[in-house]
Amino acid sequence: MSGFAEEHEIFRQALRTFVTHEIAPNVLAWEAAGELPRELFRRLGELGYLGVRLSENSGGSGRDFWYTAVLVQELARCGSIGVPVSILAHAEFATKVIDRAGSEELKAQFVRPAAAGERIGALGVTEPDAGSDVAAIRTRAVRAGGDWIIDGAKTFISNGTIADFVTTAVRTGGPGRGGISLIVVPTDTAGFSRGRRLRKLGTHASDTGEIAFQGCRVPARNLVGEENGGFKLIMQGFEGERLVLALLATAQMRLMLEEAVRYGHTRKAFGQPLLGFQTWRHRLADTATTIEAAEALTYRALDLYVRGEPCNAQISMAKLFATESAIRVAHHCAQIHGGMGYMEECLMARLYRDSLAFTIGAGTSEMMREIIARTSGFDPQG
């Protein structure tokens, strides 16, 4: 069951052509550079791809989430999973929340140029001492006249070293989830600094970095939504982010299977193609079944999300199953490639190392299990 209609497929065809001609040929260079070029964001903005999720008065086209699904699926086909990570960190993670809850002024200042690809965004939640436990963040923002003054540090931030603005989680009130706000920080503000660009196991085309705030002063109007209302906004944002990662993991599995089938038909051992051995046909049959299951779960969660129905548990199940499955599927699909499956020059090897990010980002598998257990009534504490 999917919600793709004819107009989504028309959108898909145009995007596929763009990915084939303007993205795929460059991905190895971008992986080596450790970041996407600004020009790519501009080009994507010009073609309307960055604004599919954003409202029309923010410069977007206000389309449903099935368009975002097409965007994720087609970008994944470039074979370098850091590419969709960086683009979606900008278009979905950093920007959608401002579009949803920000003032008209913030939308004009940040969302409109983000939709056009002129300004790149990042979402800054995780800190050196607070990841899964978002309610424990310590970066503090204090009111001083018409400004906020921010002090603290964030880590593992996608687009952190290239962003023009960071949608930042800060503590504006007391301890716990009720004291958190979201504030947009332009990265050219005095007191904002970039730390290390972190070297990662995979997703190399997406930069991931440390950022810091030291007496960083931004106007009071940069608050997104209500003061101390940030935790709820972050949790709402996680729904879209987790759907993106479930879609990405599923799209990645489809690519892995294609690679495994292609190799299994052409590579010969003991006088026959590898797929002449039943063991490999069966392993790939299991893989095809897993992909169908992950996709069905993801589409079901997406359908509920688009219809505005409660879907926190379904999204968590989709993210948990798709991302954990992607690692197992990667293992089988790399194994059929033999030694070649361990070589950086092999697409399957790169997909393998890229798959390891998604059981962590936007909430770990353990956090997904916590949500599922809580919403299913398994927790004796309620």
Ligand X SMILES: Cc1cc2nc3c(=O)[nH]c(=O)nc-3n(C[C@H](O)[C@H](O)[C@H](O)COP(=O)(O)OP(=O)(O)OC[C@H]3O[C@@H](n4cnc5c(N)ncnc54)[C@H](O)[C@@H]3O)c2cc1C
- Judged by CB under 6 A, which of 7, 105, 286, 366 binds ligand X? 366
Q: In 10 A of CB 204, how many CB atoms?
A: 25
Query: How far is Cα 292 from Cα 2, in angstroms, rounded to an integer?
Result: 12
Residue 191 tokens, joined: 């007191």
- Judged by CB under 6 A, which of 83, 184, 357, 371 binds ligand X? 357
Which residue, 160 or 264, has its beta carbon nearer to ligand X? 160
Find, among 237, 245, 234, the residue nearest to 317 by Cα: 245
- Judged by CB under 6 A, which of 2, 26, 61, 126 binds ligand X? 126
Site membership for ligand X, residue 260 (CB under 6 A): no
| Minimal distance, residue 247 CB to ligand X, in Å | 16
Q: Contacts with ligand X in 137-156 (CB under 6 A)?
A: 156
Burial 217-255 (b: 16+ CB within 10 A, else e): bbeeebbbbebbbbbbbbeebbbbbbbbbbbbbbbbbbb
Return the CA Rg of the chain.
21
SS3 342: helix
Site membership for ligand X, residue 196 (CB under 6 A): no
Site membership for ligand X, residue 364 (CB under 6 A): yes
Dihedral angle, C-alpha 46, 47, 50, 54, nearest 10 ° = 90
Site membership for ligand X, residue 124 (CB under 6 A): yes
Site membership for ligand X, residue 162 (CB under 6 A): no
| Minimal distance, residue 69 CB to ligand X, in Å | 20
> Is residue 127 among the annotated active site residues?
no
Per CB under 6 A, which region of 173-181, 183-191, 336-344, 353-361 contacts ligand X? 353-361
Site membership for ligand X, residue 47 (CB under 6 A): no
3-state DSSP of 76-106 = HCCCCCHHHHHHHHHHHHHCHHHHHHCCHHH
| Minimal distance, residue 372 CB to ligand X, in Å | 13
| Minimal distance, residue 125 CB to ligand X, in Å | 3
Residue 243 tokens, joined: 């759907």
Site membership for ligand X, residue 198 (CB under 6 A): no
Measured at CB, which residue is nearest to ligand X? 131
| Minimal distance, residue 253 CB to ligand X, in Å | 18
Which residue, 130 or 304, has its beta carbon nearer to ligand X? 130
Site membership for ligand X, residue 360 (CB under 6 A): yes
Burial 146-185 (b: 16+ CB within 10 A, else e): ebbbbbbbbbbbbbbbbbbbbbbbbbbeeeebebbbbbbb
Binding footprint of ligand X, residue count (CB under 6 A): 21
Which residue, 304 or 360, has its beta carbon nearer to ligand X? 360
Angle value at C-alpha 238, between 58 and 167, nearest 5 degrees: 50
8 A C-beta contact, residue 170 and residue 180: yes
Residue 356 tokens, joined: 């390891």
Beta strands, E only, 198-250: 208-219, 223-224
Q: Which of 31, 92, 127, 241 is catalytic?
A: 241
What is the contact mask toward ligand X in residues 84 to 123, using x (rule: CB under 6 A)?
-----x--------------------------------xx
Site membership for ligand X, residue 203 (CB under 6 A): yes
Residue 222 C-alpha from the chain's centroid: 24
Which residue, 144 or 373, has its beta carbon nearer to ligand X? 373
The site for ligand X (CB under 6 A) is made up of 89, 122-126, 131-132, 156-158, 203, 208, 357, 360-364, 366-367
